[in-house]
Amino acid sequence: MKKIIQLIIIAFSVVLFAQNDKIKFDKFLGKKAKVVIVKEYTFSKLYDYKINSQDFDSIAVKPYFINIPEKVLTKKYLTNLQANKKDSILFALNLSYKLSIDIQGKRYIFIKYRVLKENQKEKYQVLIVSRENSIWVEHIPKKVELNLIKSVLLNSSINLLYEFYNTSNNPKYPEINKLKSATKSGNLLDIIKLEKVLRENQSTLKKYLDN
């Protein structure tokens, strides 16, 4: 009898000990809720080239050779720019504005520009550049996010972006004031919402774009 009791106590201790360090980790599953998560870019800045038009940077008539994002743009049109003569400028790049933004730890520069060729203005384009081994190079976007931002720039002017971003309403822009709340998530300008608003209201907002 004494031995049976001892065996029972040992068996009980083994079971108790086993429970102490054996947890079924796969059982803590939880209930599902729907949430909206807002992601804010840690760095995003706009630069207006036109403000400095009295300087040099809004019109490029020759290639740049220093390692700056704009060099990548002039390299794209190197032959055309090199053909310019001092008294005969037939080709120029009109830089409108750029957005510098950090996406998942990497700095991207979006440059909105257009070609001016023989006094004709071509349509606006956006060049994306990023830094690879300290050198600025063109980045061909594959991510949806980059194409979304590109679309925002193509359908806006820097002034339009500021007016959408500002919390106070400017009476000069009644159409923007009406659409503003549809572009925000909290205080930030939501690029997914903004892209949709810009795309769906192109005719209304056309007058605020660069000519």
Partner 1 sequence: MKHLLTLLLLFISIFVFSQQTENSNIILGYSQQQDLYFYEYQPRLKIKAFLKKQSQAKNEYPEELVQSVLSARTQEWVNYNTLGGETKASQKDDTHFKRVKKMNKDKNYFELHHKLIFKIDGVETAIIKFFLIQENEQPISGAMFMQKINNRWYVTSRSDMSMFVILIMRIKSEVLEGALFGNSKNIEITNLYKKISSENGIDLKAFEKEFFDWYLPENSSKKELFIDPKTW
Task: Report whether 161 contacts 153 (CB < 8 A).
Answer: no
CA separation, residue 9 to residues 5, 13, 21, 126 (Å): 6, 6, 19, 78
144-154 helix and 191-200 helix, angle to the nearest 10 degrees:
50
Residues 54-113 that bind partner 1 (CB under 8 A): 100-101, 104
Shorter beta-carbon distance to partner 1: residue 5 or 23: 23
Structure letter (DSSP) for residue 52 = G
5 contributes a contact to partner 1 by CB under 8 A: no
Distance of alpha carbon 138 from alpha carbon 151, whole angstroms = 17
Chosen residue from 2, 3, 31, 207 binding partner 1 by CB under 8 A: 31
Task: Show the site string, 127-166: x = touches partner 1 by CB under 8 A, - = not.
Answer: ----------------------------------xx--x-
3 state SS of 155: coil
45 contributes a contact to partner 1 by CB under 8 A: yes
Q: Tell me which residues touch partner 1 (CB under 8 A).
A: 20-21, 23, 25-26, 28-42, 44-48, 51-52, 100-101, 104, 161-162, 165, 185-193
